[in-house]
Structures are given as structure tokens and as C-alpha cells.
Amino acid sequence: MKITGVDAVPFALPIRRRFRWNGLDQELGEFVLIRIGTDEGFVGYGEATPLATWGDEHGRHGGETLDTVVSIAEKILSRHLRGQDPTAISAIVEQMDSLVIGHTYAKCAVEMALHDLWGKSLGTPVYKLLGGAVRPGVVVAHMVGLMDVGEAVAEAEAACADGIRALQIKGGQDADRDIELVRDLRRRLPAHVRLRLDANQGYRHVKTALRVARELEDCRIDYIEQPVAGLADMRQVTGAAKMPIIADESCWSPRDALDLVGMQGADAISIYLAKAGGFQKAGHVAAIAEAAGLPCDINGSIESAIGNAANLAFALSSRPVSIPAVIPVSAPAGCHPCRIGGHYFEDDIVTRPFGFADGALLPLEGPGLGIEIDEDKVRKYAL
Ligand SMILES: [Mg+2]
């Protein structure tokens, strides 16, 4: 099998509501679809969800946009991919790194499409190629964006009414608001609902983060996510807080994971396929975390169905990924299983909804990523 072409299609999905988190100043719901064709008729799909202003604390990572992903994929990577065996994934990953430094979202989207092709050519789901499922489903953490306390409580309660068992609560801009909201949610929500507070580096000072941690000690929260920026401050918070701290912005690459483990900068790691640059390198981050005894989640930037299928395959098959995952439940218009829970977009580019039961996403059993792309929808939503 040989690659015949790579094309990139930016598209946007209609959002259910506005979503915000600390540092996010653009609308969610814009993506780049990567489509890789082959001489055997198989077509592989990948996705990038770049956010121009989302990155790590010192600007070392991030800053990709729809335009940079399209440009890197079509102008730099495409001509090197043409004629190659798409299942030679390790070699292609190495080539991509030799062609251009960084641009992990673009590289991840291509590598995702290669995995889709590998699975389709064998008639096997990607999660089985990655070692098979180590859990029957992936518990979904519904993201409650930055909004006032009343609105956030209503969103959280509605998500839990849909069967959601875990919430990722965005905060970081106002410590007092975050403390009030989390305490309120703990009082109102059923006792089994797992809570995580994601500050997106927003607390600025270690002492502010430690005050939030102290005030929430009796709220049984699973984690505070990335309370401050930078490994040195993360280390101080992790060392002093009673509750576990999970790193997101501080851990992109396998090298970051090594530094984080060496510095004892967190108690857990939030993995994105795109931060690492694809399944392979995300697997290396997971391996480092596992060796150090740190649990992980799989997280992202609220992807469309392609990215969600990839995240689901990774979370199903990766042993340390035991923390509820912020993966949307993808569904075409009119078919969403939930009113609010895991429901971020009013439509998606797949023909069928993802399986969702008891607050968890179920394996996609089709070959490759396990989804069927609705090309009419891709045309409809293309930018
Ligand atoms: Mg985060």
C-alpha cells in the first residue's frame, strides 16, 4: 500500500454554548481534518484542534493555528509522504521530525491518519493495534467552563442528570469563586461524582494555589490540575498540598515527562496525543508515567469525532490512563445521547453517535479509528 496524497480541510462545528477557560480567548469548535489517500482505496483520517493561544508556560510549545497545520501538512509533510507505505509509522514519525521542528498538532493529525489506515488495511480497530482494551470503557469527565457560579452549577447538575460521573471544573482566574463553586458542587451533587479543578496555570502564586488546596481539603476532589505555571512552582505546590496535583501545560513531550518525574512536579500527568505529537510519543509519555507510578488522563481541546475516536482508542488501551477523560461524546445532529453531558457541539462529521453508557464511552469496534466520516458534512462545515 502506498500513500497517494494528503489533504487538509479546515472546518468548524456549531457549538452548544460558549466555552471558556483561563487563557482561552477564541471559540472552540474549529479543526483541521487530514485525509490521506492510498493506491488500495483506503482513506485515513486525522484531526488537529489547534488553539493559537494555548501552550506551555514559557512559550516553548504551542501556538499552532488552522493555517499553520494546513500549511505544514500540505506544503512540507505531504510531498515526503507520497509514495510511502502508510504503515511504516515509526519511520514516518522520524522523517516528520527531521523535516520540521515542533508543530506537534500537525504531526499528530498525520500520524493519527496513518493509524487509521493501518487499522483499516487490517480490518482491526486501532485500540487493538495499541495492545487491546485494559478497561471496558472510558469514564467521561464533563468540562464545566469558566462561567459564574450559578451557571456552572446548572451545567454540572444537568451533566450529572445525563449520567456523567466526573467533572473537570475550569477555574484559575478568581480563587474565591473557585472555592465557592467547588464547595457548592460537592454539597449539591451525588457523593459518587468525581471532581477535578483545572486552573490552567491561573493562580500565578504558589501561596494562592496552596490556599485553594487547603480550603478544598474536605471536598474530596480528585486533583487540582495545573494550578500554577512552570515546573519549579508546580513542584512547590505538589510538595505542600494534601490533595494530588496533575500536570497539563507542564507536560507535552516525553522529555517533559522525564523532567516532571525527576523534579517531582506533579502526582499525575494529563496526556494529549497532540501535545506529544501522536499515538507513539503519547505512549512514551504514558510509559514514563507508568514507570514512575503516576496515573494519567487523556485530555485535549474538545476535539471533533476523529480526535475523540483517537483519544478513546488510546485511553482504552493505555494502562496508566485511569483518570476520567475530558473526551466529548461525538454524535451527528439529533442523535446525541445526552442533553448536556459530553455534549459540546450540535453536530459532528460522523454518521453514527459514539456508544455511551453509565457515564463512559464504549469502544468503537470498526476498523481503524472505528468511525465513518460523513463527507457531505465535511463539505457543509468546511471553512
Ligand atoms: Mg487542563
Give the distance from CA 124 to its chain's centroid.
23
**How far apart are the CA of 9 and the centre of ligand 1, in A?**
26
Q: What are phi and psi of 272, to 5 degrees?
A: -120, 140
Which segments in the chain show pLDDT lower than 70?
Answer: none
pLDDT recorded at residue 36: 98
**How far apart are the CA of 44 and the centre of ligand 1, in A?**
29
pLDDT in tens, 104-130: 999 999 999 999 999 999 999 999 999
pLDDT recorded at residue 129: 98
Indicate the DSSP class of residue 364.
P
pTM of the model: 0.97
pLDDT in tens, 331-367: 999 999 999 999 999 999 999 999 999 999 999 999 9
CATH class of segment(s) 128-361: alpha beta
The domain locations on the chain are: 3-124+373-381, 128-361
What fold, for 3-124+373-381? Enolase-like; domain 1 (3.30.390)
Nearest to 260 by CA among 297, 293, 283: 293
**How far apart are the CA of 358 and the centre of ligand 1, in A?**
24
pLDDT recorded at residue 56: 83
Measured distance CA(353)–CA(348) in Å, rounded: 9
Residues shown for the chain? 383
Measured distance CA(289)–CA(269) in Å, rounded: 7
pLDDT recorded at residue 26: 78
**How far apart are the CA of 19 and the centre of ligand 1, in A?**
14
Q: What is the average pLDDT score of the chain?
A: 96
pLDDT recorded at residue 23: 81
Cell of 240: 505542600
**How far apart are the CA of 132 and the centre of ligand 1, in A?**
27
**How far apart are the CA of 246 and the centre of ligand 1, in A?**
9
Measured distance CA(310)–CA(182) in Å, rounded: 31
Cell of 65: 493555528
Measured distance CA(323)–CA(245) in Å, rounded: 12
